[in-house]
């Protein structure tokens, strides 16, 4: 399954978040593939796309950063999977 994670730096935590990111590279947890990561141009957060069948590992990764970042996570599917579902449900 794929999950989009958005993060926002908590007030007063920018220096710690940046230092930690630069020193670790913020790798994905074991069993989680990082498909892409994007940083907002205002410096206040960003987005990452992960793939994993181990939600506890996604949770583990979020908890490692919970002291400096606020997270929002969404499971997502591609058009190829969504299309047949909506066609079935909304067929006339």
The model's pTM: 0.88
CB 17 within 8 A of CB 56: no
pLDDT band, very low/low/confident/very high, at 85 (cuts 50, 70, 90)? very high
CB 48 within 8 A of CB 34: yes
Relative to beta strand 33-39, strand 2-9 is unpaired
Angle 83-89-92 (CA atoms, 0-180°, nearest 5)? 105
Taken in order of first residue, the domains within the chain and their CATH numbers are: 2-89 (3.30.70.1060)
pLDDT digits (tens, 9 = 90+) for 45-79: 999 999 999 999 999 999 999 999 999 999 999 99
- The DSSP call for residue 28 is P
* Cβ contacts of 52 within 8 Å, gap of 6 or more: 1, 3, 31, 32, 33, 58
Q: Is the pLDDT of residue 34 over 80?
A: yes
């Amino acid at each position: 399954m794929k999950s989009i994670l958005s993060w926002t730096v908590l007030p007063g935590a920018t220096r710690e978040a940046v230092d930690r990111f630069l020193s670790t590279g913020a790798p994905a947890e074991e069993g989680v593939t990082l498909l892409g990561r994007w940083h907002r141009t205002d410096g206040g957060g960003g987005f990452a796309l992960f793939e994993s069948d181990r939600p506890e590992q996604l949770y583990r990764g979020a908890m490692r950063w919970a002291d400096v970042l606020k997270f929002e996570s969404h499971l997502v599917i591609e058009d190829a999977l969504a299309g047949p579902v909506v066609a079935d449900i909304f067929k006339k």
